Structure 1
Amino acid sequence: MAIEPDTKDWTWVLRRPCAECGVEAAREDPASVPALVRDAVGRWQEVLRRPDVAVRPDTATWFPLEYAAHVRDVCGVFDRRLRLMLEQDGPVFPNWDQDAAAVAGDYEHEDPARVGEELAAAGAAVADAFAAVPPESWQRRGLRSNGAEFTVATLSQYFIHDVLHHLHDVRG
């Protein structure tokens, strides 16, 4: 079954609340992101224990296991992007195609327990990385391959929206 790729530019969540999930990313204090990530990882663990974790809600939607595997990978991508921004001046992030990653990673056939362990580790790593950002570094800049510009602060806000939005998707 082919799920239609998401081609939306979600950077608008940095300017207005998300009508789908209710998250107001721009209002999140970047210093709160580590705690929000840790809380979200705990909620993802509960989702991964549900009996419907591998049940597709409809033909066009990932099932909870796929979303959890995606969030695990998102944590790694944002951890690497954050580190680039802290180590380099104005880096351009390597392109990441989330839909290609889902196919290559065979998300739908992953083991929920393993995804839970990996998500816990990836979530802890990115939470620790954001927690360690020195105050003078929150305005450092980086660019996505499509030209979208982020500061470390807005990267943290954009990231936490993704994690929380997908919890909303799976009713977590």
Structure 2
Amino acid sequence: MSEGYVCPECGLDYDTILPPDAVVALRSFPRRYRELLPERDDDAKPDGVIRRRPAPGVWSALEYTAHVADVLDDLADAIRRMTTEDQPTLGGFDPDARAGEARYNEQDREAVLGRLTDASEKAAAVVDAVPNDAWSRTATFPWGVRDALTMARNAVHEGSHHRRDVESVLARVVGR
């Protein structure tokens, strides 16, 4: 169901992601995000730079990272349900509302990275456990019907795309 989709912003081509690739990518996200998020900013303030927003309405690096942790956790649950239930109807969420309600930008850096590690491993384990004949199983979301393979690819896209967002935000707030 994601055949031919290439993200117009980050260039990720869904057709290039097979389930084993998704497992490897998902397991790489904790390390790849940790490498980006400095513990101290230029003024030696504890993690100040990761909380800075480059513009109104644009998330900070920490907020993007917390969002990815939540999305990967949600997608792991969705894929598990899609492959164990008959055509479930699954909900969505408003990312901006969730970010505000969960106070992403006030969360501890290590706690967010820990959640990302847990969610990445959970998603990788779920994807790794899907039988080959179950990838075409579907669920109905608020945005339409999707198959399990599309959702695994979407998990990789979320992590990859938002990692680029984190890089961009950090470059903007540090002025590089």
Work out whether the TM-score is over 0.5. Answer: yes
Percent identical across equivalent pairs?
Answer: 28
Specify the SS of the correspondent of 2:56: coil
Q: Give the unaligned 5+ runs of structure 1.
A: 1-10
Aligned runs of 1:109-128 on 2, under 5 Å?
Answer: 109-128=106-125
The match for 1:92 is 89
Question: Aligned equivalents of 1:127 and 1:116: distance in 2?
Answer: 16
Query: Can you list the C-alpha shifts for 1:138-166, whole angstroms capped at 9, x where unaligned?
Result: 111111123x1111111111221111100
- How high is the TM-score relative to the length of structure 2? 0.84
Q: Give the unaligned 5+ runs of structure 2.
A: 42-48, 169-176
Give 1:57's match in structure 2, choosing from 54, 57, 61. 54
The match for 1:140 is 137
Cα drift, residue 16 of structure 1 = 3.0
Question: Aligned equivalents of 1:49 and 1:124: distance in 2?
Answer: 22
Specify the SS of the correspondent of 1:33: helix
State the number of aligned residues.
Answer: 160
The match for 2:173 is none
What's the C-alpha RMSD, in Å, of the aligned pairs?
1.8
Specify the SS of the correspondent of 2:50: coil
Q: Is the 8 A contact 2:83 2:135 kept in 1?
A: no
Q: Is the 8 A contact 1:26 1:154 kept in 2?
A: no
| Greater Cα shift, 114-123 or 25-34 | 25-34
Amino acid paired to 1:26: D
Q: Is the 8 A contact 1:49 1:112 kept in 2?
A: no
Q: Is the 8 A contact 1:142 1:150 kept in 2?
A: yes
Specify the SS of the correspondent of 2:146: strand
- 2:149 is equivalent to residue 153 of structure 1: yes
Q: Is the 8 A contact 1:38 1:123 kept in 2?
A: yes
Give 1:29's match in structure 2, choosing from 7, 10, 18. 18
- How high is the TM-score relative to the length of structure 1? 0.86
**Which has the higher Rg, Structure 1 or Structure 2?**
2
Cα drift, residue 92 of structure 1 = 0.8
